[in-house]
Amino acid sequence: MNLRQVEIFNAIMSTGSISDAARLLHVSVPAVSRIMSHMESRLGFPLFERVKGRLFPTAEAHQMYQEVELVYRGMQRLDRLGTELAGRRHSMVSIAASPSIGQMLIPLAIAYFHNGNPEVRVHFECLSHEHLKNRMLTGQVDIGVSILPMNHPNLEITPIARGRLVCVCPPRHPFAKKKEITVHDLREVPLITYPRDTPFGRRIEALYAEHDEVPTTSMEVGSPQNACALVHAGVGVALVDEYSLLGWPMGDFRVIAIEDAPPIMADLVRLRTGSSSPAAQAFMRAMRSVLLERGLALPAQPL
């Protein structure tokens, strides 16, 4: 079956007659009838029974219709994608980010960008590491910002910001008066942490392993934002990235530096095979301005 036959078959099944299908597709009745007859001849079995001038789908037609609907919906999605891609070059920019940096920093950059480019439509979402990577590789996102390594030969990675891994605790916690702690100080403190098979969970496991320590876990959460909310509620202590703190008033909990904690880099991610649209370039400039204001920007690199 070619796509024209799929369209004809779908129209007949949807409308219930050849004449209605012809009107739906703006073609002649003989043309629809001829294509359907040719299709049945190629298949080797009838798709419709003709009784007193009416069409009744056969059991085979009903089975095929289930698959044809999937194909037809795929064609409609492809058509919408083509329209979106054409418009994106001039009037739309699509952005996706890791949840931590996407919680506050990217919205600040979007606001900065929108002030100077009110005519450009922005699509923004926070995604997990794997979803962000897949959206970038399939061209569904113009600009990605990730705080986790995203190595792939088809992706161009540009480091743009440098943050810290810090400890957050309630104001009355014994750590609250300290400016800096070590991993050894955390030895006996139950942590609000992350599953070991997640990127952030592996980051904390590696930090403890460097100091021959094993974290004591009080509970596991899905993201640093969840951890901050629990610390704010007075539940316990957590290790989070500095980017996640931008959305929280500093009076909600205490933030303590961790000695020898490795930096957390934020990378700009783009598809290597494509060129950035004028809208995307303008957003990248806005993002750099926000990073400079927050003291997080790395030395300028070509974007």
- DSSP characters over 68-134: HHHHHHHHHHHHHHHHHHHHHHHHEEEEEE-HHHHTTHHHHHHHHHHHH-TTSEEEEEE--HHHHHH
**DSSP one-letter code for 263:** P
Within 10 A of 177 (CB to CB), how many other CB atoms are there?
A: 9
Decide: helix, strand or coil at residue 302: coil
Q: How far apart are CA 201 and CA 213, in angstroms?
A: 15
Nearest residue to 303 via CA among 290, 286, 294, 164: 286
**DSSP one-letter code for 247:** G
Angle, alpha carbons 230-231-233 (nearest 5°): 65
Contact in structure between 166 and 231 (CB atoms under 8 Å): no
Q: To which residue do tokens 């900065």 refer?
A: 112
Helices 3-15, 29-43: axis angle to 10 degrees equals 110
Q: Which helix (H) or strand (E) holds 27?
A: none
Nearest residue to 87 via CA among 61, 116, 122: 122
Please list the ranges in the chain whose pLDDT falls under 70. 84-90, 250-251, 301-303
Residues 6+ apart with CB under 8 A from 186: 167, 213, 215, 237
The per-residue pLDDT for 87 is: 58
The per-residue pLDDT for 250 is: 65
- Structural domains of the chain ordered from first start: 3-87 (1.10.10.10), 90-162+264-293 (3.40.190.10), 165-258 (3.40.190.10)
Q: How far apart are CA 147 and CA 96, in angstroms?
A: 12
Residues 6+ apart with CB under 8 A from 261: 164, 165, 166, 207
The per-residue pLDDT for 222 is: 86
Q: How far apart are CA 114 and CA 142, in angstroms?
A: 16
Residue 139 CA neighbour count, 13 Å, CB half: 13
Q: Name the strands in the sheet holding 143-146, side by side, starting at the edge strand that comes first in the sequence.
A: 121-126, 92-97, 143-146, 264-271, 155-163
Span 235-271, pLDDT tens digits: 999 999 988 888 777 667 899 999 988 899 999 999 9
Nearest residue to 122 via CA among 96, 103, 145: 96
Q: Please tell me the total number of residues recorded for the chain in this structure.
A: 303
Q: To which residue do tokens 């024209």 refer?
A: 4
Report the percent of the chain where pLDDT is more than 70. 95
Q: To which residue do tokens 């309630």 refer?
A: 170
Span 40-83, pLDDT tens digits: 898 899 998 888 778 899 999 999 888 888 887 888 888 877 77
Q: How far apart are CA 264 and CA 245, in angstroms?
A: 13
